Structure 1
Amino acid sequence: MNKNIFKNLLVVALVTALPFLSNAQRKANWQNFDLKTDSIFGISTEKAYTELLKGKKSTPVLVAVIDGGVDLNHEDLKRVIWKNTKEIPGNGVDDDKNGYIDDVHGWNFLGGKDGKSIEFETLELTRLVRRDQARFAKVTAATIAEKDKADYEIFVQNREELEKRLVTAKSDLAGITGFKFYLDQIVKKIGKPNPTIADIEAFKPTSQQEEGVKGALLNVMKEMDFSTFYTSQIEAGYKQAYEMVNYNLNVDYNPRDIVGDDPNNSKERFYGNNDIKGPDALHGSHVAGIIAADRTNAIGIKGVAANVMIMGVRNTPSGDERDKDVANAIRYAADNGAKVLNMSFGKGYSWDKAIVDEAVKYAVSKDVLLVHAAGNDNKDTDVEPNFPSKKYLDGGVASSYIVVGASDYKDDENLKAAFSNYGKTSVDVFAPGVRINSTIPDDNKYSVQDGTSMAAPVVAGLAALIRSYYPKLSAVQVKEIIMKSVVKVNRSIKNMKGADTVDVPFADLCVSGGIVNAYNALKLAATYK
């Protein structure tokens, strides 16, 4: 009997513990709703458009989605995709002399000259261990030189952490593989590709494993149909576990030859290709829709900001982004006119934070507002860092850099999304990030996603909205307005600390102590001169 399957049942059971919305509340744009009017803790975007912005003129704002790729042909995005009018499409010439050939809609720092692109990558931890394995291959703790001892100790710690994660990942992969095997058997025996809850109830298990899977299914199918569960949990879970074992934590895997650059040269700037979609644009397309999905076409969803253009800058593979690519993506966006950058990525280790800091300082000097997702590990980033960060290695904090945690729809003790990172000094604000419906690539589709990756673009959209109607405001002023105009949360919330649930004042989770609010922000912006 495979014991891992029962371990995995616990993972599947967590699905039923998520804060699902009722059908009445599961609307496409809950993040834009108003707490008083709709009893949903959105950011009052629709109220702002109706009461504050009607009849007012706005100017277009360019927002860079620095991510894994954007589908520029989606029905709800194609009208808002940026076009570099200084570049002649497809002529193989760098017409605007910015160093990037045919960058009509943005740039892909994960691509090669032959048009191919990286899809999977290792974690930064894996790359650090691979680098230091080569460096310390011929030494031990007893023979290491005194000057190298500190680095060697870090290497040993990192190697132990990598081995620990790999054991867990292999167990998870075995578990979900086993669960999927027995689930597929059950579906085959039932004879329907999309069985109903009645079909599952009527099924007679012939083994302990089938009994366990049936029980989990009956729980899950109270909240979603089988097809949704299979796609979003089983297939996605298997894919994630497989990638973790075979790519993310695999020291022997290195796809960088696809790009053809020198990955160890952080100063190298001009590489990549113009394919802003890449092999997997789900995440970036979802982010782009939250910011700017077409508000004029009466289809799909409505982005937070109406008069914006989306620039696609690809730097995030399935795995950890490289600091070199992060820095270059920030510089590219700043140099080509983006006034707001959305960065829904992050990691727990950094190869070259200094090069990213330089790029952040450069963007700040160009009056750019950087919006960064806080991360999804339910950790205190005041204690455990998340990279990139607004704090510079050489001291000081980026003045126009805002870090966003994820909140839920209901104003109660579960307002903080269970997965969201937090930090009284390292996280600035919270914004809706649970069950956010938005655009995904190919065939004009939409899906619901969770994460601080969804919360950050809510804030990026708000920042773009403010800059659109009040273009004279600086990036620093826009951050100040967003911070000052939050809806304060004067209550304690539930948060997991290890295995325990504790009550924590929401004010201790972030600098502002609240949820961003478009209505309040725009009213405040109107008072700035």
Structure 2
Amino acid sequence: MKTMLTVLPLFIILSYLFLYLPSSADMSNQYVENGFVVNIAPEYRDIICPVFNNGELETGVAEIDQLIGKYGIYRFEREFPASERYSNTSVDLSGYYIVEFSPLHRLEDVINDFSSCCCIEHVERIGVCPVFAIYPDDPLFSEQWYLDSESYVDIDAPEGWIYEHGDASPIIAIIDTGVDYRHPDLINSIWINDGEVPDNGVDDDKNGYVDDIIGWDFVHGVRGDRYEDCFIEDNDPMDWYGHGTLVAGVASATTDNGVGVSGVGWGARIMVLRAGWGWGPYGFVRMDFCARAIFYAVNMGACVVNCSWSSSNSGGISAAVSYAVSKGVVVVVAVGNTGDEYSHYLASRGDTFCVAGSDMNGRRAIFSSYGSNVDVSAPAFSIMSTYRRYLGEHIYVSRSGTSMSAPQVSGLCALIKAQNPSLGGKAIMWVVHNSTKPMIGDEEWEKGLMGSGIISVENALCNEMLSSECANREIPTEVGVVKILSVSPSPSDDYIDVMFSSPCGVLSADIFDISGRKVLKRVFNVSGGEGEFSILLDNFNSGVYVLRLSDGIASDTMRFICIK
């Protein structure tokens, strides 16, 4: 049974249609026209109490109540329900409220009046951002090359699964257009809320959502395709558009079940959170929907949140992500498909895990965005996954885009969490970041614009040093802490001298050949400052090699040539 969050008068439902009407001519980020988010000042948070009194909305704060009457405000609702239950964090979300008003008024006028109120700490518009496109490929493509291939450009999944199959304890929250939770290759991977009794109309776990058995559908008040569920949020996060089902299958389709495809996360569960919808060929998410979904995911136990969509700093998304990070949750973000140097809000924060896309040659996929904000790359071309078409057809298709890259990283993060349950988000990101394969010959990678390289499930799971010594380490936050000053001579036939600078501690030197295979590893202590060491090339063949120097917190790479 589908449970509705609330029942609204017809005039309110109709007014929702004006909130957002996407234009096919303008696919850039847009904003809701008669809604926004406010953060109540701390001294007023215990006073404000929105209620309907004889059909009139009141908050108990005179300054706000005057504006409610002036602008026909019909919704003044907590953005993050029951946030007091989860207050043991440095991020306070108790003051965030969603405000919606009569479309007869101008957004700028309402925002200006609220911004001038002494009881309002700040006001945020609500962004409507595109879901990253997925590009159709040959429908007869039937091999998941990105998991396992003869070349070095795959992510070494079968080799990694030898060390860790994963289990049902890690939860990946898929915040997207929903998920086809009835798909035969997903149905056994769906997270179930054990704290809720199905269909009893009661919020048993007191998290603010009634009968949220497999997640929640946050979408309401938008206009989409004919069969999209666009009016009232409820407990049925079914996917119509298809994007979220693709993403979920890549992250953790049920593996080794004799059906369909394999998900990177093997046994990880999928929490279904619908924050997006389809309109013709396009998909969209709204930032307040996404913010609430992130808050829900963190509080309900997700260790990874997957975001395969664009974003803007609006609608409370900043506070929600800060909350997730403070709780040790990994927020995985697709960088985008602009084909140039580009960064949307979530990809540029620095505390999320930003993923670019590689192609079948181990280089940047032509459509993938790139930039200094990228942490790692993963295959993005011809990715086979689960799909839902129209009214319940459970199929498989091959698609391309960084939307397909991000869930591979999410699946790997879940495997690492299953292998090492005590690891927090920063440590998990460190393992993924420091176990990648170099993208030799890729111009953007060599400039540091594609992250550390292509993820490797095998490298991340088989390296005991990575998994056991990284519990308190973090993803590099200071560029140039470790620096390779020179590698000489190059070309060389017998040895190389490496000049470097680094703080004191343990330093590791790894050398990779052109195929991405690690051919040498050295670990040694350094006293800090500039230093030098030599490496003999006795067993090296002629070719191009990459030296990676790392202290476990920061790293640097440089190419050299060996000629025999």
**TM-score bracket for the superposition, by shorter chain length:** 0.5 to 0.7
- Residue of structure 2 aligned with 1:444, choices 367, 371, 394: 394
Larger RCO: 1 or 2 (CA < 8 Å, sep 6+):
1
User: Is structure 2 residue 360 aligned with structure 1 residue 409?
Assistant: yes
What residue is the counterpart of 1:302 in the other structure?
262
Per-residue CA shift, 1:240-292, capped at 9, x if unaligned? xxxxxxxxxxxxxxx99824xxxxxxxxxxxx211111433x11111111111
Residue of structure 1 aligned with 2:436, choices 468, 486, 490:
486
Which whole-Å CA distance do the structure 2 matches of 1:363 and 1:20 have between them?
35
Tell me the CA shift for residue 58 of structure 1.
Answer: 4.9
Give the drift of 1:378: 1.1
Q: Separation in 2 of the partners of 1:20 and 1:323?
A: 30
* Contact 2:264-2:411 at 8 Å conserved across structures: yes
CA spacing shift, 1:46–1:94, aligned 2, 3 Å: same
Q: For structure 2, list consecutive stretches of 5 or more residues without a partner in the other structure.
A: 1-134, 472-564
Give the match for residue 313 of structure 1. Answer: 273
Aligned to 1:217: none
C-alpha separation in 1, matches of 2:189 and 2:359: 28
2:347 to 385, 389, 413: 389
- Provide the secondary structure at the position in 2 that maps to 1:258: coil
Within the alignment, does 1:92 sit opposite 2:201 as a pair?
yes
Match of 1:453 in 2: 403
What is the 5 A alignment of 1:296-445? 296-318=256-278, 319-347=283-311, 350=312, 352=314, 355-381=316-342, 385-391=343-349, 397-398=350-351, 401-411=352-362, 415-423=363-371, 425-441=372-388, 442-445=392-395
> In the aligned structure 1, how far is the partner of 2:223 from the partner of 2:448?
36
Q: CA deviation at 1:472?
A: 1.1
Task: Give the 3 Å change call, closer, same or farther, for CA 22–453 of structure 1 in structure 2.
Answer: closer
Paired residue total:
326
Tell me, in whole angstroms, the C-alpha distance in 2 between the residues paired with 1:40 and 1:109. Answer: 41
1:174 is aligned to none
Q: Which amino acid aligns with 1:386?
A: H
How many angstroms apart in 2 are the aligned matches of 1:306 and 1:312? 17
What letter is aligned with 1:288?
A: A
Is contact 1:119-1:317 (8 Å) kept? yes
Contact 1:323 1:352 in 2 (8 A): yes
| CA-CA distance at 1:522 after TM superposition | 1.1
Q: CA deviation at 1:516?
A: 0.8
Question: How do 1:111-126 and structure 2 match up within 5 A?
Answer: 111=220, 119=224
Contact 1:65 1:343 (C-alpha < 8 Å) held by counterparts? yes
Is the CA contact (8 Å cut-off) linking 2:176 and 2:285 kept in structure 1? no
Identity among equivalent pairs (%):
34
CA drift at 1:473: 1.0
Q: Given residue 289 of structure 1, which amino acid in structure 2 is its aligned partner? A: G
Unaligned stretches of 5+ in structure 1? 1-17, 122-254, 260-271, 392-396, 493-503
Q: Give the counterpart of 1:506 among 445, 449, 452.
A: 445
Partner amino acid, structure 2, of 1:352: S
What is the CA distance between 1:307 and its match in structure 2?
2.1
Structure number with higher strand proportion:
2
Separation of aligned partners in 1, 2:249 and 2:328: 24
String of CA shifts for 1:301-340, please: whole Å, max 9, x gaps.
1101122110000112234322211211110111111100
Map of 1:53 onto structure 2: 164
Q: Give the aligned partner of residue 188 of structure 2.
A: 79
Return closer, same or farther for 1:470/1:88 CA change in 2, 3 Å cut-off: same
CA distance in 2, matches of 1:306, 1:257: 32
The CA distance in 1 between the partners of 2:410 and 2:178, in whole Å, is 17
Contact 2:355/2:406 (CA < 8 Å) preserved in 1? yes
Greater share of helix residues, 1 or 2? Answer: 1
Distance in 1 of aligned mates of 2:400 and 2:348: 23
3-state SS, counterpart of residue 256 of structure 2: coil
Q: Please say if residues 484 and 512 of structure 1, whose CA atoms lie closer than 8 Å, have aligned partners that are also in contact.
A: no
TM superposition score normalised by structure 1 = 0.58
- Aligned counterparts of 2:195 and 2:292: Cα–Cα separation in 1: 20
Change (3 A) 1:21 1:407: farther
Structure 1 contact 119–279 (Cα < 8 Å) conserved:
no
Is 1:286 the counterpart of 2:401? The answer is: no
Give the CA deviation at 1:433.
1.0
C-alpha distance in 2 between matches for 1:309 and 1:457: 13
- What's the offset of the Cα at 1:454? 0.3
Aligned pair partner of 1:44 in 156, 159, 162: 156
Residues 109 and 313 of structure 1 are in contact (CA less than 8 Å); yes or no, is this contact kept in structure 2? yes
Instruction: Say if 1:507 and 1:513, in contact at 8 Å, map to a contact too.
Output: no
Q: Which amino acid aligns with 2:338?
A: D
- Output the aligned Cα RMSD: 2.7
| C-alpha distance 468-44 of structure 1, shift in aligned 2 (>3 A) | same
- Superposition pairs of residues 138-149 of structure 1, within 5 angstroms: none
Alpha-carbon distance in structure 2 between the residues aligned to 1:22 and 1:108:
30
